[in-house]
């Protein structure tokens, strides 16, 4: 009997067993609970609700107070108690997954609220809250512009109250300096939203509404300027807390955020093995480029690390000859989306959604953490526009810093970035996943699945011959994979083992071949958060393992499009749950 037949036989037996165990009463209780969670949870954060696509609270602004936190904790515990009264084993397989996702999310939210307590130590949270409060209303056309501007007016009128609450909540002695410095940079970015996205549209309002909006903007501007003074003169001098999470918090958050079976040590072991493998693969590709430059070269059978380093750097220098213009990155990304889309279609890799996508300059309030991101519409705004946001080069950078950045984001690197953030990466994956019928699952999407898919998509395109099989593209794609590996190594090394800035820079620049500007930004990002940098490698490894298993099980029936379409049809839960659903294995506890 073939392996694929055994696989299908076991799957059918499991399906029958699952159907027999399913209880209509348990299903009804679960459905009621899930619907109430979706209905009630958004009220805890009106700004987050707008991002989700729930527009019932568009005129409200979050409360930042002890009372609000107590209400959130009570909300979480109430749902945890209700879930404990439902026998998960009596639910359908799909609902068992959703149950596990909500169970983890509630525990994670309560841990964040009561143990991690970022509300007292992370002012960046509030600068992004203020910016998102207005940006999320005006960026997407979920309602007529005049209606959205009225909601913006209502929120702007509440800015003085919000920022006053923030100042009363933040404990300066608990704030790491890097968090204070980043908040100082982002806070005034909210004003650029008013100037660039609100003020130009005053004419769509009647006179009374326009007058009220102008007054609200003036009041909010004063509040933001007052906040800036507080950040600079009162918070920053006392912001000397250690940014490092430590072993206990890191391991706890790793389990919640990644929902992986890998322990921190297991992750380190796999990352170290991948580090060696990918660097050796880079050397093999770089040899092709090196031989084009020096046709008479004879490569040693067993090159040492130093020899490989020199050859890889020489190969990368060839790729660095093609740099985008300083002011042309956004236009380049637009052209590359079209190129990547045509390639995916031509090679039948995965279904391409019709949802709109737009490349934009990253809003100021969101800068300083990463060079780009995919801002997909919320799960309740399916079909709305996705934004592929790219941070512009700062005006204050020196010529040397600009050159460092452009070398890192050369034309081939921009191809890889566009693949990761757009097609067939985040834009495509999130648009397809949003079509899964469970709204709860869409709300509780796994960052590990999502980021892992982005890295997997980069290698998928190169393996399929993207950009005419150019060895420069292959080498850059491997460099990006190496970036994900160094992210994971650095994440725990910094927050648990005490890695210094010099050590981290050496790992990124010498070990990962990153340019100084990229590495410096990543060092800041690594200080601002922990465990998120591990999602890229963990998710990638899980996607690779699942594909390998599927290829074996499906045999001759395997095709890229069939596999990827099915993979993405389940939403964005952790990969272990997708594996169980695809293979009809028991749903993990």
The answer to whether residue 18 scores a pLDDT higher than 60 is no
Token pair for 55: 């527009």
pLDDT score at 532? 96
pLDDT score at 364? 84
Q: Which of 435, 442, 398, 425 is nearest to 540 (CA)?
A: 425
Q: CA 585, CA 576: separation in Å to the nearest integer?
A: 10
Token pair for 252: 């706890």
pLDDT score at 16? 53
Contacts 24+ apart (CB under 8 A), 351-355: 351/432, 351/561, 351/564, 351/565, 352/423, 352/424, 352/428, 353/428, 353/431, 353/432, 355/382, 355/383, 355/384, 355/385, 355/386, 355/427, 355/431
Within 10 A of 191 (CB to CB), how many other CB atoms are there?
18
What are the E-state strand segments in 133-190?
A: none
Contacts with 548 (C-beta within 8 Å, 6 or more apart), sequence order: none
pLDDT score at 457? 98
pLDDT score at 20? 53
The answer to whether residue 132 scores a pLDDT higher than 70 is yes
Q: Is 243 helix (H, G, I), strand (E, B) or coil?
A: coil
In DSSP terms, 355 is beta-bridged to none
The answer to whether residue 582 scores a pLDDT higher than 80 is yes
Q: CA 364, CA 132: separation in Å to the nearest integer?
A: 11
Confidence of residue 253 (pLDDT cuts 50, 70, 90): very high
Token pair for 65: 């107070």
pLDDT, the chain, mean:
94
pLDDT score at 10? 47
Digit-coded pLDDT (tens) for 60-112: 999 999 999 999 999 999 999 999 999 999 999 999 999 999 999 999 999 99
Confidence of residue 330 (pLDDT cuts 50, 70, 90): confident
Q: Is 361 helix (H, G, I), strand (E, B) or coil?
A: strand
Q: Sign of the C-alpha dihedral, residues 346, 350, 354, 358?
A: negative
Within 10 A of 504 (CB to CB), how many other CB atoms are there?
21
User: Which DSSP category does 486 fall into?
Assistant: H
User: Which DSSP category does 363 fall into?
Assistant: P
Q: CA 322, CA 231: separation in Å to the nearest integer?
A: 41
Digit-coded pLDDT (tens) for 298-326: 999 999 999 999 999 999 999 999 999 98
Q: CA 182, CA 551: separation in Å to the nearest integer?
A: 45
Cβ contact 153:209 at 8 Å: yes
Token pair for 409: 């984001």
Confidence of residue 57 (pLDDT cuts 50, 70, 90): very high
Confidence of residue 456 (pLDDT cuts 50, 70, 90): very high
Cβ contact 482:308 at 8 Å: no
Q: CA 337, CA 334: separation in Å to the nearest integer?
A: 5
Q: pTM of the prediction? A: 0.93
Q: Is 388 helix (H, G, I), strand (E, B) or coil?
A: strand
Cβ contact 315:290 at 8 Å: yes
Q: Any idea what the Cα angle at residue 541 is, between residues 540 and 545, rounded to 5°? A: 120
Dihedral pair phi/psi, residue 7, rounded to 5°: -60, -45
Confidence of residue 556 (pLDDT cuts 50, 70, 90): very high
- More confident of the two residues 471 and 17: 471
Q: CA 528, CA 48: separation in Å to the nearest integer?
A: 20
């Amino acid at each position: 009997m073939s392996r694929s037949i055994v696989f299908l036989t076991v799957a059918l037996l499991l399906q029958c067993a699952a159907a027999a165990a399913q209880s209509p009463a348990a299903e009804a209780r679960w459905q009621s609970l899930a619907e109430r969670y979706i209905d009630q949870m958004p009220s805890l954060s009106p700004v987050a609700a707008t991002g989700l696509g729930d527009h019932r609270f568009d005129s409200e602004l979050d409360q930042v107070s002890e009372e609000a936190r107590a209400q959130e904790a009570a909300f979480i515990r109430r749902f945890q108690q209700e879930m404990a009264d439902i026998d998960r084993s009596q639910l359908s397989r799909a609902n068992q997954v959703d149950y596990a996702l909500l169970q983890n999310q509630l525990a994670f939210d309560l841990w964040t609220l009561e143990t991690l307590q970022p509300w007292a130590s992370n002012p960046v949270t509030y600068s992004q809250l203020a910016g998102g409060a207005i940006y999320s209303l005006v960026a997407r056309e979920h309602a007529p512009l005049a209606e959205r501007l009225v909601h913006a007016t209502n929120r702007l009128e509440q800015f003085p109250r919000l920022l006053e609450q923030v100042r009363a909540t933040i404990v300066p002695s608990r704030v790491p300096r890097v968090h204070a410095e980043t908040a100082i940079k982002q806070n005034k970015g909210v004003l650029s939203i008013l100037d660039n996205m609100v003020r130009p549209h005053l004419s769509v309002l009647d006179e009374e509404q326009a007058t009220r909006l102008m007054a609200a903007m003036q009041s909010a501007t004063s509040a933001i300027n007052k906040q800036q003074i507080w950040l600079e003169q009162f918070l920053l001098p006392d912001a000397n807390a250690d940014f490092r999470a430590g072993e206990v918090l890191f391991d706890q958050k790793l389990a919640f955020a990644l929902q992986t079976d890998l322990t921190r040590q297991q992750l380190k072991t796999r990352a170290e093995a991948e580090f060696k493998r990918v660097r050796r693969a880079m050397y093999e590709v770089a040899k092709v480029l090196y031989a084009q430059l020096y046709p008479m070269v004879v490569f040693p059978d067993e090159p040492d690390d130093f020899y490989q380093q020199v050859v890889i750097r020489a190969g990368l220098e060839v790729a660095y000859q093609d740099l985008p213009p300083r002011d042309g990155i956004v236009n380049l990304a637009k052209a590359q989306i079209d190129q990547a889309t045509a390639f995916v279609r031509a090679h039948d890799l995965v279904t391409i959604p019709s949802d709109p996508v737009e490349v934009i300059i990253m809003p100021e309030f969101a800068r300083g953490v990463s060079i780009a991101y995919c801002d997909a519409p919320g799960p309740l705004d399916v079909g709305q526009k996705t934004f592929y946001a790219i941070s512009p080069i700062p005006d204050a950078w020196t010529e040397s810093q600009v050159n460092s950045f452009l070398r890192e984001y050369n034309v081939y690197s921009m191809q890889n970035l566009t693949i990761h953030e757009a097609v067939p990466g985040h834009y495509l994956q999130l648009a397809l996943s949003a079509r899964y019928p469970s709204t709860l699952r869409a709300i509780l999407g796994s960052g590990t699945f999502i980021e892992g898919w982005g890295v997997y998509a980069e290698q998928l395109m190169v393996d399929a011959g993207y950009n005419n099989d150019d060895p420069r593209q292959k080498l850059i794609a491997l460099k990006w994979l190496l970036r994900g590996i160094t992210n994971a190594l650095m994440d725990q090394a910094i927050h648990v083992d005490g890695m210094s800035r010099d050590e981290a820079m050496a790992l990124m620049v010498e070990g990962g071949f990153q340019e100084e500007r990229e590495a410096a930004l990543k060092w800041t990002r690594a200080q601002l958060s922990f465990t998120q940098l591990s999602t890229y490698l963990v998710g990638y490894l899980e996607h690779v393992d699942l594909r390998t298993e599927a290829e074996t099980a499906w045999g001759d029936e395997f095709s890229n499009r069939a596999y990827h379409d099915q993979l993405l049809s389940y939403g964005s839960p952790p990969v272990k749950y997708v594996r169980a659903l695809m293979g009809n294995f028991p749903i993990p506890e």
